[in-house]
Amino acid sequence: MNRAVHLIVGDGVVGRAAADVLARRGIAHALASRTPSPGLATPQRRVDALDPDALLGASADASHLYLTLGLPYDARVWERDWPRVIDNAIAAARRHGLRLVMFDNLYGYGPVPLRQPIREDHPQQPPSRKGRVRQAIGERLMQAARNEGVPVLIARASDFYGPGVRGALLFASAIERQLQGKTAQWLGDPDRLHSYTYVPDAARGLVELALDEGAYGQAWHLPTMTPAPTSRALLQMSARLLHAPEGVQALPGAIQSLLGLFVPILRELREIRYQHEQDLVFSSERFVQRYPGFRITPYEEGIEAMVRSFRAA
């Protein structure tokens, strides 16, 4: 049986970008999701990560299992479902001898204010419910690595941006409005330094780590450009490209709370507002030291590619 398939559970922008990287490198791969997307050239498998038998079956011919899926942005759903997903993935990895690659975010870091720059050794005392979920699943994965012999690595990224990235705050709060010729809005302080991870760089970094036997058993920060810009600076770049107003309207916390009564996603975003009210400088220095030839995309180039993708759409 061919056991060289890299199975990517989650066909969002990160999963698809990782599949593209694997395709360019000539590595057998497949995307897995509950509802396969029509029109994708990438091989696809139907699997619900909450179903242990389905995940076991889908990963039987795999060598690597990537978790790039997202769950509905609701703390109750995260508390209920993320532990199940992780336990199912660990069980599959244990059964089939898979290398387990977890794509993660920064929610598990704390307390506030976050220590700058944020490195892999930052304390994990998160100030939010979603952060406590991320902390717990990270601990469970490392426990599987230490005590159960499962090769695990955790790869963390800062907020996303890049071609086709619509689910990130940078688009949903700001660039989507600029595309309509409106002034960008922002949840927090747009003049704080804030690192953003370019999705194609994150995907290349994820595959680089997955193929590196020495990367397992630890957490890594995915390649992210330095120095960190302000969110306002990035939105001015996109505004100029879109011939939109260059201003940024900062929404006070009280307004966000009021709007959250009617817009559930705003209510859920309130608990991570702290990430946009202080500097958030994300360090991927350790990754760069291990892979010194890795090219990280400059912000100007990344924003241009992001805007170009939306114009094409």
**Is residue 108 located within the same domain as residue 78?**
yes
Q: Residue 162 carries which side chain, given as an amino acid letter?
A: G
Distances (CA, A) of 156 to 41, 106, 221: 27, 7, 5
* CA 254 to chain CA mean position, Å: 28
Based on the domain organization, do 65 and 170 belong to the same domain?
A: no
Domains of the chain: total: 2
Boundaries of domain holding 38? 5-160+198-224+283-297
**Together in a domain, 168 and 102:** no
* Same domain? 156 vs 255: no
Pair 182, 99 in one domain: no
pLDDT of residue 1: 38
| DSSP string covering 132-183 | HHHHHHHHHHHHHHHHS---EEEEE--EEESTT--SSHIIIIIIHHHHTTPP
Structure tokens at 196: 């953003």
Residue 277: phi and psi, rounded to 5, are -110, 0
Residue 32's pLDDT is 97
Q: Do 31 and 149 belong together in one domain?
A: yes
Same-domain status, 144 and 85? yes
Q: What is the pTM (predicted TM-score) of this model?
A: 0.95
Same domain, 25 and 53: yes
Q: What pLDDT is recorded for position 252?
A: 76
Q: Which of 155, 86, 69, 161 shows the shortest CA–CA distance to 120?
A: 155
The answer to whether residues 168 and 77 belong to one domain is: no
Token pair for 191: 């003049």
The CATH number linked to 87 is: 3.40.50.720
Same domain, 156 and 173: no
Q: What is the mean pLDDT of each run of 10 residues along the chain (313 residues)?
A: 81 97 97 91 96 97 97 95 98 98 98 97 97 98 97 97 92 92 93 98 98 98 98 97 96 65 63 94 98 98 97 88
Q: How many residues does the chain have?
A: 313
pLDDT of residue 97: 97
